[in-house]
Amino acid sequence: MRVALAEDGALFREGLLMLLQATGHEIVGATADGDSLLDLLATEPCDVAILDIRMPPEPDGGLITAERLRAKYPDMGLLFLSHYAESHYLMRILNIGTDAIGYRLKEKVGSVEVLSDTLDRIRDGEIVIEPSLAKRLVERPRGEKKGLVASLSERETDVLKLMAEGRSNNGIAGQLFVTPKAVEKHIANIFGKLGLHADTSENHRRVLAVLAFLRSQRDDD
């Protein structure tokens, strides 16, 4: 795929360019700030733009740049990178979109395999969230559940929390001491109650279910 990069840290930028080259993707350009990336993409189309969250022109320039990119190029994938897993960053990212978007820690994308998998999933329209952040947010003590999430049973909420950790159906079954068949039924109920029907992949619906849970409690941050 065609990939563009905006990262103000020269050392990390060069390292990421080497990884991207190793994955075989075409690099359309690399800049040190969001404004330069916007200028670049005005003439060089790309499939996925990789943005450092904290870069010029603002402290959170990556998010501001991404808002402008999503408005101008709605089909372009966006991958946010940061040294920090912050819930307020995730919530702002969710406001930008829930399709073809990702938020990963810089230290976790330091291999060809992880970076390739992340980019492929974003290109395919999925959401990719740093697993440790999703797990921490779901497990944090919160107030009352809101919206559709409030309709989930206690056991369905338990299943959803384990989904946020990235556990498979068998892994969830082992944690809850139930059969994989029972887990499948709970997940189907979760999808149904949250309105996540079978027009998207199961993996995508699993992520969307977790995001619905996070969104339902965002006002408690």
Model confidence pLDDT, tens digit, residues 56-73? 988 899 999 999 999 999
49 has pLDDT over 80 = yes
| pLDDT of 217 | 59
pTM: 0.77
Tell me what the mean pLDDT of segment 196-208 comes to. Answer: 74
Mean pLDDT of the chain: 87
Share of the chain above pLDDT 70, in %: 88
88 has pLDDT over 50 = yes
Q: Which two tokens stand for residue 87?
A: 């819930």
216 has pLDDT over 60 = yes
Environment class of 90 (CB within 10 Å of its CB; exposed 0-12, middle 13-18, buried 19+): buried
Alpha helices (H) in 42-179, listed in sequence order: 61-72, 87-96, 112-123, 131-139, 154-164, 169-176
Each residue's pLDDT tens digit, 131-145: 777 766 666 555 555
Each residue's pLDDT tens digit, 142-175: 555 557 788 889 999 889 888 876 678 998 999 9
